[in-house]
Structure formats: structure tokens, C-alpha cells
Amino acid sequence: MSGQSLEMRRARLSKFGCPVHGTTMRQIAEYPDGGHTYRVYACARRDCGIEAWTNGGPLQLMSEWMHLLETPEERERRETVERYRRALELEEKLRHRAIWASDAPYPAKVIALGLVHGMPVSKLANAMPRRVLKENLPVAKTLVDGGR
């Protein structure tokens, strides 16, 4: 396809143009967030659907369109990272579910979730009486290890 090299697509996007069609992208939404304003842009062509965003810097394609600007190797690398992240999220979800589903006492479950999120025991001590923490910590540790 002519005019569709990665370099040309990147050049079009850098000038707020649709990377495929070159037409000027129009702003379709605006979200203030903290000190930034996120602006969403879309290709003016109805049959296109390409969207991009910026918070003041260069225009970035939405993730589903990123492949338009990537070499096959870059795409492969990004998709591998995304798959890995999804697997980690799923693992964490299953771990939480296993902890909540256990027959352990409620404080042990709370402590276990704190440990899963890397909360130091000293911080957990502020959240409950020391005796409760001491009694439930061994069970909580078993719950955390059991989910691994």
C-alpha cells in the first residue's frame, strides 16, 4: 500500500492527522484529570474509527490502533507484555477469591489481603488490636502461601 509506511503514518499523527488517511483528526471529548486535560481525537472519516488522545504532549493512538505504528517486533513485544499483565491480574483475582472463600476467621482474611498487597505487619498492627493480629497472623500467612 502506498503512503502507508510506518514513517509516513507517524509523521501524519505528529501533525494531528489520521495516520492512515492523513485527514485532520477532530476533538471528540475532553476529560480533566488532576492537573492535566485529556483530549480524545478521532479521524474525520466515518468509515475509519481511528482514535487518539493527548494530555498536552504528542498525540497517542488508542491501544487498539497502536499496531498501525509498530513494526511486527514492536507489536509482538507489546502484546507479550499485555498478556503477561493480564495473567498477573487474573492470578491476583484468583488469590483474593481463594482467601475470601476460605474458612479462616475474618481478621485472618483481612491480614492476608494486606500481606498480598505488600502491607508491612507494623501497619496492620494499627488497624486492629495487637492480640487479634498476633492470633491471626499465622493463619493469614498460610492463606497467602496457599494462594501461591
Which residues would be at the binding site for Zn ion (CB under 5 A)? 18, 20-21, 43, 45, 48, 50
Instruction: Closer to Zn ion by CB, 8 or 125: give it.
Output: 8
The distance of closest approach from Cβ of residue 1 to Zn ion in the complex, given in angstroms and rounded to an integer, is 14
Instruction: Closer to Zn ion by CB, 23 or 142: give it.
Output: 23
Q: Residue 111 and residue 124: Cα distance in Å, rounded?
A: 7
The distance of closest approach from Cβ of residue 92 to Zn ion in the complex, given in angstroms and rounded to an integer, is 38
The distance of closest approach from Cβ of residue 113 to Zn ion in the complex, given in angstroms and rounded to an integer, is 46
Instruction: Closer to Zn ion by CB, 20 or 124: give it.
Output: 20
The distance of closest approach from Cβ of residue 40 to Zn ion in the complex, given in angstroms and rounded to an integer, is 15
Q: At what angle do helices 72-101 and 130-146 cross, to 10 degrees?
A: 130
The distance of closest approach from Cβ of residue 38 to Zn ion in the complex, given in angstroms and rounded to an integer, is 20
Instruction: Closer to Zn ion by CB, 18 or 111: give it.
Output: 18
Q: What is the 3-state secondary structure (H, E, C) of 9-30?
A: HHHHHHCCECCCCCCECEEEEE
Instruction: Closer to Zn ion by CB, 20 or 52: give it.
Output: 20
Asked whether 97 and 113 are in contact (CB, 8 A), the reply is: no
